[in-house]
C-alpha cells in the first residue's frame, strides 16, 4: 500500500504503480495488500513477486540465516507446483538467478482447458477482453506477429475461427469472468 501511495505521487513513476504495488500478490490470491491473484495483475507483477520471494529466501533475516541457493530454488519450485506463485515467473527468476536447469527444472506446466499453454491462455484472456493483437503484444512483451500466432493456435485448439467465438469459449470454460 505504501509503495502504491508513494509512486502515485510522481507522474514519472505512476505507470509503475500496478506492477510495484502487486509485488506481494500471489497466484493463488493469498498475498497482500489487495489479495489479488496474479492472473488479475500484470505478468511483470508476477515476476516481481517471485523475485521478492527469492530474495526473501536467500537473504539473512533477523529470525533466520539466508537459505542456500539450491534450497531456495526448491522452495520456489514447490510454491509454483502448489499454485502459490506463477510457474512461468518462478522459471524466469530462477533462470536469472542461475538456478534453472533445463526448460522443465521441476516447475510443472499447468494444464489448461483445450490443451492451451500458459502463453496461449494469456493471449486468450486479453483477446476475450477486447484487446487488439497489437495491444496483446504490448501487454505480453512480444511482437504483434507472435501474438497473432498465439491467437491462431488458440483458435485451432479450441475449434473456433473468430474472437467472439473465442471469447464465448473462454467464458464457458472460466478462463475469463
Which CATH number is associated with domain 113-172? 1.10.10.10
How far apart CA 144 and CA 7 sit, in angstroms, is 30
How far apart CA 64 and CA 78 sit, in angstroms, is 20
Name the residue among 31, 56, 58 with its Cα closest to residue 46: 31
Asked if pLDDT for residue 33 goes beyond 70, the answer is: no
Asked if pLDDT for residue 3 goes beyond 80, the answer is: no
C-beta of residue 101 within 8 angstroms of C-beta of residue 151 = no
- Check residues 96 and 1 and name the one with the higher pLDDT: 96
Where along the chain do its domains lie? 2-96, 113-172
Q: What is the pLDDT of residues 6-22, one digit of tens each?
A: 767 777 777 777 777 77
Confidence category of residue 62, pLDDT binned at 50, 70, 90: confident
pLDDT, position 40:
44
Q: What top-level class would CATH report for the domain 2-96?
A: mainly alpha
Asked if pLDDT for residue 48 goes beyond 70, the answer is: yes
Helix or strand or coil: residue 148?
A: helix
Q: What is the pLDDT of residues 147-173, one digit of tens each?
A: 999 999 999 999 999 999 999 999 998
Phi, psi of 64 (to 5 degrees): -165, 155
Phi, psi of 61 (to 5 degrees): -125, 165
Percent of the chain scored above 90 by pLDDT?
27
Amino acid at each position: 500500500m505504501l509503495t502504491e501511495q508513494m509512486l502515485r505521487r510522481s507522474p514519472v513513476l505512476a505507470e509503475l504503480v500496478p506492477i510495484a504495488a502487486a509485488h506481494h500478490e500471489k497466484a493463488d490470491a493469498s498475498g497482500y495488500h489487495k489479495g489479488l491473484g496474479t492472473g488479475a495483475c500484470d505478468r511483470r507483477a508476477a515476476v516481481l513477486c517471485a523475485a521478492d520471494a527469492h530474495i526473501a529466501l536467500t537473504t539473512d533475516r533477523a529470525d533466520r540465516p539466508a537459505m542456500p541457493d539450491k534450497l531456495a530454488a526448491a522452495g520456489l519450485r514447490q510454491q509454483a507446483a502448489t499454485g502459490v506463485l506463477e510457474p512461468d515467473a518462478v522459471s524466469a527468476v530462477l533462470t536469472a538467478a542461475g538456478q534453472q536447469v533445463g526448460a522443465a527444472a521441476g516447475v510443472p506446466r499447468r494444464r489448461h482447458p483445450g490443451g492451451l499453454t500458459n502463453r496461449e491462455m494469456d493471449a486468450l484472456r486479453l483477446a476475450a477482453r477486447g484487446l487488439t493483437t497489437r495491444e496483446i503484444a504490448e501487454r505480453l512483451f512480444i511482437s504483434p506477429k507472435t501474438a497473432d500466432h498465439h491467437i491462431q493456435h488458440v483458435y485451432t485448439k479450441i475449434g473456433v475461427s473468430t474472437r467472439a467465438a473465442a471469447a464465448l469459449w473462454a467464458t464457458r470454460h472460466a478462463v475469463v469472468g
